[in-house]
Structure formats: C-alpha cells, structure tokens
Amino acid sequence: MELIPQSEFQRARKLDDLALLGDMCRANALVAVKRAGSGHLGSSFSAMDIVVHLFYRELNTADVGFDDPDRDVYFSSKGHDVPGLYAVLHSLGVIPAEQLLKLRRLGGLDGHPDVGVPGIEANSGSLGMGISKGRGMAWAKRFLGRDGRVVVMTGDGELQEGQNFEGLQAAAAHAQGNLCVIVDRNELQSDKPTDEILTLGDLEAKLRAFGWHVASCDGHDHEALAGAFAEFRSAADMPKALVANTIKGKGVSFMEHPRALEEGGGTYRWHAGAPDDESFARAHQELADRIRTRLPDVRLVRVDELDEQSEGEPESGIATHARVTAEYVAAAYGEALLELADAHPELVVLDADLASDCRIRPFELAHPERFHESGIAEQDMVSAAAGMARQGLLPVVNSFAAFLTARANEQIYNQTSEQTKVIYALHYAGLIPAGPGKSHQSIRDVSLLAALPNMTVLQPGNADETKALLRWAVEDATENVALRLAIGPSPRRLELPSVGPGRGAVVHEGSEALLFAYGPVMLHEALTAAERLDERVQVVNLPWLNRVDAGWLTDLVEPFEEIFVLEDHAPVGALADTLRRELGGRRITVFGVEGWPACGTPTEALRHHGVDGLSVADRIALVLGARAAS
C-alpha cells in the first residue's frame, strides 16, 4: 500500500492542474479508507474536485492558515465525505501522513469531522445541521467585522432534513451574503438514488423560493466552478447556493454512478465501507495510471515506511473481540419482523434512509405496501408514525439510536402523549463500532427516553433474545417500546435463558459481587471480566433497562456484598440509575462510557473508557480488595 507524499503535491501544484490534484487526493483517501477498514469513498470522490478547487483556488486558507480570524471557513455538513477532506488537508501539509494513516483509530483522525483535527472547522456527521452552523459563523464574522466567507458543503439526500430549510430561510432573512452553500448533487443517497428514496423535486426552484441566489454547474469542471464563484461575487447581499452536479464515486470507473448502480443491481455498493483487496488494487491502479499521464515520475511511499509504529490490537491475556461471531442481532430483528408480519397485518415499518443498515430491506421487499420511506427526516418519520398509530396501525420506526432519540425527541414525546403504541428500533446503540465517531455512537439514548411515562427501553443480548423481545413488543406490550440494537457482530455466542418482563438471568455464577450487563458487546466484556475473577462475580443479563421486577431484583441482590453495572451507555441515565431507584440503600458502582465516546477500533474504544473485560476485572478487583481490607 502506497501513499503520495506531501512533497509530490507541492510539485504537482506548480502544474496548476487541479484535476491531477484531485486524483492524487483520491488515491490517498482510498488508501486511508482501505487501511481504516471503513469510510465513505463514494461521496468523498464526488465532492473531491470541489474541495480541491476550494482549497487550491478559491479559499484563502492556504495563504493565511487555519488560525487567522479573517480566513475563509469551509466545512462539510454531510461529514462522511471527510476522508476526501483529510486527503486534501494532507496535500496542503496541514495533516501529516502518519495521521492520515490513522483514520478511525484512537488518537488519529475521527471517522466524522471533529474540530480537534487541524483544518476541521465544525463537527458534523449527523446530517442537516451545516447550513445553520455555517450561517452562525457567517453572522459572527459580520458582527465581529471579520473578513472571509463561510462555505458549507451539503449532500443532496441530506437536504431531506428539515433543519436545512430553517437555515436557508434564516440566512435569506438575515441577508447573509458571506455564506455559500454547495450541494454535492450526486443523485445517490446511502445505497439508492435520491429519486427512489424521496425525490427532492426541482431543487433549484426550492432554493430560489427560499430567497437564495442559485447557480449550478458541473462539479468536476474547474472552469465551470471558477465561473460560478466569480458570478457569486456579484450577488453581494444574498446567500449563495451552488448546485454542483457530480458523479458519485467519480474517478474510479467501477465506482462511478450510474455504472456502479447498474452493476449493483440497483444498489450502490461504494457509499460506505472499505473496498475488498482486489477492488482496492484495481481502483488504486486506475488512479495511479491516470496520475502518471500528467505527472509521469510521481513518487509513492510505502505505507509501512510512514507508520509511526505497529498498530495491531494490544496483546493481552484475553483478547476482547477475538471471537467475533457471525451473529448480528440486527439481522435477527429483521428476520423477526418478517416472521411477525403475517399474523399482524397492522404492523408497518418506517425508514429514514437506513433500510440496509437497519436490516429492514427484506421486509420492504416482502411487503412493499407496508414499508414507508420518509427519507433522511427522522422528525417527519416519527410524527408520521404517530398519525398512523392514531389510525390503528402499529408502526415500527427505524433509525440509528443517536439520530432517532435526539433529533426526534420532542416528536416521540408528542406521540407517546397520544396514548398510542409505537415501537422504536434504535439501531447502532452503544459505543461499538467506534470508528464513525461521536456523531454516530449512541451513549445517551436511554437517558433521552427515560422520563417518558409509557416507554419501555430494552436491549437484547443475542439473536434469540432479540426475536423474543420484539415479539413481546408487538404482541404483549401495551405501551411504547424502544429496542436498542447493536449494529455489529456479536463478540461471542451466548446462551441466554428466557425470562419474564422486568427480569434478567444469571449467565455466570459467582459469590461475592453481582455484575449487571446487557447487549452483546457488554455481556461479552462482563463475562470476560468474570472469567478473570474466577467465581467471585456473578453476571446477570438484564435487558430491561428502565422497568425492573422489584421482587425479583430484591431477592437477586440480597446475598451479594457489592453490585456493579456495566453500561453500554453513559454512566448517567441508564440501567444503573434504574437499579438505584429500585434498590434504595444499596451502593451501586457503575462502569459506563464517561466523557465523549472515543473513536477507534472496538478494543481501543473499550479500553479507553475502561469498559473492556480486563479493565472491568481490574476495577471490580479494586473495589472488592478495598472492601476486604476495610
């Protein structure tokens, strides 16, 4: 694996060939993503020529740097295109090569933009906030008498989020002429065409109706881009929007839309995730070949020469996540939905453009008339579900936990206040995977639902429990249910005894202390800890996070001197708080995700937060040792 060093960009820059620079950055972004094992190439590549154009021709940051108050500000609202931006920042000498090679690693580059990284101006990753944030910056610049524009990139699918239209109308009302939005109009969202998910209609007419000065051009044509920005200078007092028509996957023939979509049978494969070895090699070869037509003697450096150190998983006694299984609880959830469909004709499934990740594509294919797509619009999805429930349907609402419970929190409150029943499937709950970073990791969702009077929050620990709890939610629950689901593979196969509502089950016997855990990730860590502590710690799987059978709990804890809870959540607002409310007078020690969730591999993130099995064992031993000594 080879990277193009920064010195080569200095050389290429003198050729004044932005297309060449774009391909060189594509090659490096491809390497970074391949090495990280995940990342978003499709929209990094569609946006690449625009980003290169901005930094090499249009913005003043290359001259004044990223600390000058009068600098132009650029950031991408969609955020997942950040591997492309990192590659450009590396080309400019802002990010060193060693860091580019630590994409999605602890202490490296976050999977979505974070202001802790040089050149990153705003945190993004959850969609639709960028125009508002950019106009806040632009307003501040004007208020403070600072020079420089604010340029915000958005996706096109991203424009389904309603907040964009709040930002658009406010920027127009405030006549924010120093704000520019560029829409990366690549016509595809996560894995389907925008027109198939939820059409944007006449996008330019919409932007004009919102009072913006609008232009459009080929987003890969530098002369056209230059013309658009030149034209924008004449419309001083209006915010400007450039609809840049781009090709998703641009630069690698087999990743380009529409060819890639056709080859994928209607699904675009290169939105997220690293390419396999063969695809990586083909893609890199194609880029390198084209680069050599313009810079024949381009020098590439082997990645292992740039690495600071070997970055393998730590070698410890019991390697956590060593035994990753083929089980996905989310897949079991998708299967269970299908199994329940025939007996429950009132059951309908709602999606906000995450159907593949949420494993509801099989339901969509089997029951297209019972599948409802809101586009990337979680608030609309929840309120639409509320309306369906008022008509007697049982909506099952899907999104990532971090988006659904936070973005649509008031809509969930409103729905639950109508005394209808809706099931919320909170995908990607918890700390792991930690590569995408804090915009995606969900460690607050239980706390965000906890004060609702009629919401039961559950997290199953394996596939069978997932199916059982979903069946309970559909058939037995009289009120709303939120089902937290891990998105990654289960770290180990678990046998989880079936128990009644509000109850858990012992999964490891022990005598001194109780350790509560839930979900496949933390049950594995809890068991790892217990295995190190011989027979001292009894592990209990408790999937009922805010409703516990008080009698069962009291009997369970009575013989034990110490109680611990391992949360796949912040230490505030989840199971430990529930148990404290039930067990007045008992001390409970909680191990949770303190602070901001770390970005990195599972092992890195778990260890960073002290919630891997080895750390938990040490922390428990410390408490038990102090108790014995006292």
Spatial neighbors of 61 by CB under 8 A, at least 6 apart, are 55, 68, 71, 72, 74, 119
List, in sequence order, every residue forming a beta bridge with 485; answer none if it has no partner.
Answer: 427
Q: Based on CB atoms, which residue is closest to a second copy, 460 or 573?
A: 573
Which contacts (CB < 8 Å, 24+ apart) does range 291-295 have?
291/4, 291/20, 291/23, 291/24, 291/27, 294/15, 294/17, 294/19, 294/20, 295/8, 295/11, 295/12, 295/15, 295/20, 295/24
Q: According to the binding rule CB under 8 A, does residue 372 interact with a second copy?
A: yes
Q: According to the binding rule CB under 8 A, does residue 21 interact with a second copy?
A: no
Q: According to the binding rule CB under 8 A, does residue 598 interact with a second copy?
A: no
Q: Based on CB atoms, which residue is closest to a second copy, 146 or 361?
A: 146
Size of the site for a second copy (CB under 8 A): 112
Stretch that binds a second copy, among 94-102, 249-257, 289-297, 436-444 (CB under 8 A): 436-444
Listed residue (538, 537, 546) closest to 567, CA to CA: 546
Q: According to the binding rule CB under 8 A, does residue 205 interact with a second copy?
A: yes
- For residues 186 and 154, the answer to whether their CB atoms sit within 8 Å is no
Stretch that binds a second copy, among 238-246, 300-308, 312-320, 369-377 (CB under 8 A): 369-377
Q: How far is the CB of 278 from a second copy (least distance, A)?
A: 38
Q: How far is the CB of 283 from a second copy (least distance, A)?
A: 33
Q: According to the binding rule CB under 8 A, does residue 134 interact with a second copy?
A: yes
Of the residues 15, 115, 230, 324, which one makes contact with a second copy according to CB under 8 A: 115
Q: Based on CB atoms, which residue is closest to a second copy, 83 or 128?
A: 128
Of the residues 42, 375, 460, 520, which one makes contact with a second copy according to CB under 8 A: 375
Q: Based on CB atoms, which residue is closest to a second copy, 375 or 491?
A: 375
- Token pair 């025939």 in the structure block, residue: 342
Tokens of residue 67, six digits: 């600390």
Q: Based on CB atoms, which residue is closest to a second copy, 141 or 492?
A: 141
Tokens of residue 257, six digits: 């839309």
Of the residues 161, 286, 357, 612, which one makes contact with a second copy according to CB under 8 A: 161
Binding residues for a second copy restricted to 441-480, rule: CB under 8 A:
443-444, 447-448, 450-453
Helix (H, G, I), strand (E, B) or coil at 99: helix
Stretch that binds a second copy, among 94-102, 202-210, 231-239, 292-300 (CB under 8 A): 202-210
Q: How far is the CB of 602 from a second copy (least distance, A)?
A: 21
Stretch that binds a second copy, among 507-515, 551-559, 583-591, 604-612 (CB under 8 A): 583-591
Q: According to the binding rule CB under 8 A, does residue 296 interact with a second copy?
A: no
Spatial neighbors of 54 by CB under 8 A, at least 6 apart, are 74, 151
Q: Based on CB atoms, which residue is closest to a second copy, 16 or 410?
A: 410
Ramachandran category for residue 119: left, alpha or beta (phi over 0 → left; psi -120 to 50 → alpha): left
- For residues 49 and 22, the answer to whether their CB atoms sit within 8 Å is yes
Q: Based on CB atoms, which residue is closest to a second copy, 121 or 357?
A: 121
Q: What is the rounded distance in angstroms from the CA atom of residue 544 to the CA atom of residue 32?
A: 40
Listed residue (172, 306, 304, 311) closest to 235, CA to CA: 172
Amino acid found at 118: P
Q: According to the binding rule CB under 8 A, does residue 145 interact with a second copy?
A: no
Stretch that binds a second copy, among 23-31, 300-308, 371-379, 507-515 (CB under 8 A): 371-379
Stretch that binds a second copy, among 34-42, 99-107, 221-229, 587-595 (CB under 8 A): 587-595
For 68-162, where are the alpha helices, taking DSSP H only? Answer: 82-91, 97-100, 130-143
Spatial neighbors of 499 by CB under 8 A, at least 6 apart, are 505
Listed residue (622, 561, 626) closest to 591, CA to CA: 622
Q: What is the rounded distance in angstroms from the CA atom of residue 214 to the CA atom of residue 243?
A: 7
Judging by DSSP bridges, how do beta strands 73-76 and 150-155 pair with one another? parallel
Of the residues 283, 393, 431, 537, which one makes contact with a second copy according to CB under 8 A: 393
> Which parts of 529-621 are beta strand (E)?
537-541, 562-566, 588-591
Tokens of residue 145, six digits: 């008498």
Stretch that binds a second copy, among 84-92, 142-150, 283-291, 428-436 (CB under 8 A): 142-150
Q: According to the binding rule CB under 8 A, does residue 271 interact with a second copy?
A: no
Of the residues 6, 38, 60, 132, which one makes contact with a second copy according to CB under 8 A: 132
C-alpha distances (whole Å) from 528 to each of 117, 492, 521, 606 are 34, 10, 11, 13
Q: According to the binding rule CB under 8 A, does residue 184 interact with a second copy?
A: no
Q: How far is the CB of 23 from a second copy (least distance, A)?
A: 32
Spatial neighbors of 304 by CB under 8 A, at least 6 apart, are 1
Q: How far is the CB of 553 from a second copy (least distance, A)?
A: 15
> Which parts of 352-440 are beta strand (E)?
371-373, 394-400, 423-427
Q: Based on CB atoms, which residue is closest to a second copy, 202 or 223?
A: 202
Q: According to the binding rule CB under 8 A, does residue 580 interact with a second copy?
A: yes
x/- contact string, 346-365, with a second copy (CB under 8 A)? --x-----------------
Angle, vertex CA 57, rays to CA 51 and CA 58, nearest 5: 75
Q: How far is the CB of 422 from a second copy (least distance, A)?
A: 10
- For residues 257 and 186, the answer to whether their CB atoms sit within 8 Å is yes
Q: According to the binding rule CB under 8 A, does residue 294 interact with a second copy?
A: no
Q: According to the binding rule CB under 8 A, does residue 302 interact with a second copy?
A: no
Binding residues for a second copy restricted to 527-556, rule: CB under 8 A:
546
Stretch that binds a second copy, among 17-25, 159-167, 496-504, 618-626 (CB under 8 A): 159-167
- For residues 68 and 141, the answer to whether their CB atoms sit within 8 Å is no
Q: How far is the CB of 124 from a second copy (least distance, A)?
A: 8
Q: How far is the CB of 436 from a second copy (least distance, A)?
A: 13
Q: What is the rounded distance in angstroms from the CA atom of residue 167 to the CA atom of residue 131?
A: 5
Helix (H, G, I), strand (E, B) or coil at 612: coil
Q: What is the rounded distance in angstroms from the CA atom of residue 324 to the CA atom of residue 601?
A: 13
Q: According to the binding rule CB under 8 A, does residue 117 interact with a second copy?
A: no
Q: According to the binding rule CB under 8 A, does residue 198 interact with a second copy?
A: yes
Q: What is the rounded distance in angstroms from the CA atom of residue 125 to the CA atom of residue 597?
A: 14
Q: According to the binding rule CB under 8 A, does residue 367 interact with a second copy?
A: no
Q: How far is the CB of 320 from a second copy (least distance, A)?
A: 24
x/- contact string, 66-85, with a second copy (CB under 8 A)? ---x----------------
Binding residues for a second copy restricted to 394-433, rule: CB under 8 A:
395, 402-403, 406-407, 409-411, 413-414, 417-419
Q: According to the binding rule CB under 8 A, does residue 124 interact with a second copy?
A: yes
Q: How far is the CB of 158 from a second copy (least distance, A)?
A: 12
